[in-house]
A = this chain, B = another copy of it.
Amino acid sequence: MSGKAKRSGGDDIKMSDIARHAGVSPMTVSRALREPSTVSEKMRRKVDAAVREFGYLPNRIAGSLSSKRSNVVGLIVPSIRNSLYANMIQAISDVLRANGFHLMIANSGHRLDDEEALVAALLAQRVCGLVLHNTTHNKRVRDLVAKTGVPVIETGNLPAEPLDMAVSYSNFEAARAMTAHLGRLGYRKIGFVTLPLRDNDRSKERRRGYFAALKELGLPADPSLVLEAPGGFSEGADALVRLMQTHPGLDAGFFAGDVLAVGALFECQRRGWAVPGRVAIASFDDLDLLRHAVPTVTTLRIPRHEIGRRSAELLVNRLLGAPPERLRIDVGFEIVQREST
């Protein structure tokens, strides 16, 4: 836990100073700043003048303590680095800001224990709402959320029983749909490359979707067609090469995550394997990159931005007074058929 530090140089001006200089009571200053309409124009002008003269910045810490309200929302993502989250974060940040809220952000590094520690820390900071990308949580997280009653949004998957509200798509359905799509296109030996499965409900659901589709297609469920790889270009390339070696007849690869598919595509370019002639490639998540690569890559469009926007909107509504309501919003997904399949 450790150190915090003394705020230095502040010749801290406070509300009572402004009040004195404006010749009004502190309460009037407080009101003039927060609910200008409840104060006469004369007062408001006096207050505004004093505020400007001294460059006064209200102390929101004091305000929050006093009012028992906070205007900070906490967000925990597995990794900040990932551009998928970045889209969502941007959307959340924009909606929050438009409504006068701020965003405190932390990354759990895909570790449930870290998520737990961060949830506790954010709640200690008395955030007024929480957005969690993860949908499986330690018991203490569930307890804390229940006990404090903070509104929570889960965004990474559609859990059967959300903690509170969930805004997401079904990883299972998405992976199933893409696999089925490949089947419809005539591919028969479809490899599946997944992100690490440990502590990751999204990955597990995607794999489940893949197998479900195979079954529906009447194709054999061959575990050796499934490879687990951390995200990244090289990892995608490696995975494809390994699959091609162990399964010479492989006709398609479905890369369920990150930039794996692009890595595989580049590998094909290097080796002169025609895509989709020699092997078809499908991806997950509509990175800009996939639309511009040569050939363009078939993928699943997940509305990350919309997930962020709607999450923040729901949170803001609740914070502004909407009654608590267990919600489970499916934003859906879309198969984007391109040249690579």
Task: Name A's B-contacting residues (CB within 8 A).
Answer: 1-11, 34, 55, 57-62, 64-65, 67-72, 79-83, 86-87, 89-90, 93-94, 97, 99-107, 120-126, 128, 143-144, 147-150, 232-234, 237, 259, 262-263, 266, 269-270, 288-289, 291-294, 316, 318-321, 324
In the assembled complex, which residues on chain B have CB atoms less than 8 Å from the CB atom of A292?
233-234, 237, 262-263, 266
**CB-CB nearest in chain B for A100:** B2
Docked Cα-Cα span, A130 to B146, in Å, equals 33
Find out whether the CB atom of A2 lies under 8 angstroms from the CB atom of B149: no
Q: A80-B86, A123-B57 are in contact. Are A320 and B5 (CB under 8 A)?
A: yes
List 4 tightest A-B contacts by C-beta distance, closest first.
Answer: A9-B149, A5-B319, A233-B292, A2-B100
Chain B nearest CB: distance from A339 CB in Å? 11
User: Which chain B residues border A107 with CB–CB below 8 Å?
Assistant: 90, 93-94
A3-B320, A4-B128, A10-B149 known; A89-B100 Cβ under 8 A: no
- How far is it, in angstroms, between the C-alpha of A149 and the C-alpha of B5 when the chains are bound? 13
- Complex CA gap A325/B64 in Å reads 33
The answer to whether A87 and B93 have CB atoms under 8 Å apart is no
7 contacts between A and B (CB under 8 A): A5-B128, A7-B70, A10-B147, A55-B147, A57-B124, A93-B107, A104-B104
Smallest CB–CB gap between A163 and chain B, Å?
A: 13
Nearest chain-B residue to A319 (Cβ)?
B5
- A5-B321, A61-B64, A262-B292 are known contacts; what are 17 more A-B pairs with Cβ within 8 Å? A2-B99, A4-B69, A4-B128, A5-B69, A5-B320, A8-B324, A57-B123, A58-B124, A59-B126, A81-B90, A89-B105, A93-B107, A103-B105, A237-B292, A266-B293, A269-B294, A289-B289
State how many angstroms separate the Cβ of A153 from the closest Cβ of chain B.
15
